[in-house]
Amino acid sequence: MSRRGKTIVKRVVLDPKFNSELVAHMIRVIMKDGKKTVAEKIVYGAIEKVAEKMKEDPSKFVKDEKQFEDPLEVVSAAIDNMKPQVEVKTRRVGGTTYPVPVPIAANRQLSLALRWTTQFAGARHGMGMPSAVAAEIIDAFQGQGNVIKKRDDVHKMAQANKAFAHYAW
């Protein structure tokens, strides 16, 4: 039994522009060295770029015969595509370490998806950060891109080690 106390879950302050918890979380993940206004400019710029792309070619933003109109819906759907369902954790049993697939909690799924988005957007060279974040979001919405590849790699690793699932406790 853990000796640590219960973690206190802080109430999320919604972002002022879209009044969205998801956008506020994106801003916090992108923020570096406490520069929140810079992070806000990046996230809001990315959402604006997604909206511009939606106006240019609305046919790219159809999923399951549903036409997306709002850029926040596209961002939300893209992040849902990015979320991994299982991950591999190592367990030590009898002097041997085994990679054990375990399901991921919803808040960790979101954190991983946003962390991967900022990581791969930062690795895209030749464009500003808002454009790179928007490109990652659009790619993820369409089921492609670096974040989706990373999620699939995590899922493949879990699938390959399914034999050790009984060690998850």
Q: What is the predicted pLDDT for the residue at 105?
A: 95
Q: Please, how many CA atoms are within 13 Å of residue 119, restricted to the half-sphere of its CB?
A: 11
DSSP 5: P
Q: With respect to residue 56, please indicate whether it lies within any of the assigned structural domains.
A: yes
Q: With respect to residue 121, please indicate whether it lies within any of the assigned structural domains.
A: yes
CATH number at residue 48: 1.10.455.10
Q: With respect to residue 10, please indicate whether it lies within any of the assigned structural domains.
A: no
Single pTM value for the model: 0.88
Q: What is the predicted pLDDT for the residue at 50?
A: 95
Q: Would you report the helix, strand and coil content of the chain in percent, each value rounded to 5?
A: 60, 10, 30
Q: With respect to residue 116, please indicate whether it lies within any of the assigned structural domains.
A: yes
Number of H helices, E strands in the chain: 6, 4
Mean pLDDT by groups of 10 residues along the chain of 169 residues: 82 90 95 96 97 90 84 95 94 88 94 96 94 96 95 94 79
Q: With respect to residue 78, please indicate whether it lies within any of the assigned structural domains.
A: yes
Q: What is the predicted pLDDT for the residue at 61?
A: 85
Q: What is the predicted pLDDT for the residue at 9?
A: 83
What is the total count of domains within the chain? 1
Q: With respect to residue 47, please indicate whether it lies within any of the assigned structural domains.
A: yes
Q: What is the predicted pLDDT for the residue at 169?
A: 66
Q: With respect to residue 7, please indicate whether it lies within any of the assigned structural domains.
A: no
Domain hosting 30: range is 21-167
- Residue 85, C-beta contacts closer than 8 angstroms, at least 6 positions apart: 103, 104, 109, 155
Q: With respect to residue 4, please indicate whether it lies within any of the assigned structural domains.
A: no
